[in-house]
Amino acid sequence: MLIIFILGFVLALALALVLTPLVKKFAIRIGAVDVPNARKVHTRIMPRLGGLGIYLAFTIAFVAVLPFLPFDLPARDANFMKAFFTAGSIIVLIGVLDDRFELSARVKLLGQIIAACTVVFGYGIKVDFVNIPFQDSYSSLENWIAIPLTIFWIVGVTNAINLIDGLDGLAAGVSAIAIGSIFTMSLIMGNYPVALLCLLLLGAIVGFLYFNFHPAKIFMGDTGSLFLGFSLAMLSLLGFKQIAVVSFITPLIIIGVPLSDTFFAIIRRWVHKKPIFAPDKGHLHHCLRELGLSHRQTVLLIYGIAAFFGVLAIIQSSAAINEANWVTFLVICVMMFVLQIGAELIGLVGKTRRPLLGLIARLRIKPDPTRGSKP
Which residue positions form the known binding site for Mg(2+)? Answer: 162, 222
Please check whether residue 228 is in contact with residue 205, taking contact to mean a CB–CB distance below 8 angstroms: yes
Please check whether residue 225 is in contact with residue 94, taking contact to mean a CB–CB distance below 8 angstroms: no
Please check whether residue 190 is in contact with residue 143, taking contact to mean a CB–CB distance below 8 angstroms: no
- CA–CA gap between residue 336 and residue 332 (Å, rounded): 6
- CA–CA gap between residue 143 and residue 66 (Å, rounded): 33
Binding-site annotation, residues: 162, 222
Compute the half-sphere exposure of residue 239: CA atoms within 13 Å on the CB side of its CA. 31
Plot region of 102 (φ>0 → left; ψ -120 to 50 → alpha; else → beta): left
Buried b (16+ CB within 10 A) or exposed e, 237-260: bbbbbebebbbbbbbbbbbbbbbb
**Residue 293 burial (CB count, 10 A):** 16
User: What is the torsional sign of CA 118, 132, 229, 9?
Assistant: negative
Please check whether residue 209 is in contact with residue 221, taking contact to mean a CB–CB distance below 8 angstroms: no
- The C-alpha torsion from 50 through 259 and 91 to 201, rounded to 10°, is 60
Alpha-carbon distances of 65 from 8, 61, 62, 200, 326, rounded to whole Å: 6, 6, 5, 10, 41
Beta bridge mates, 140: 129
The residue type of 26 is F
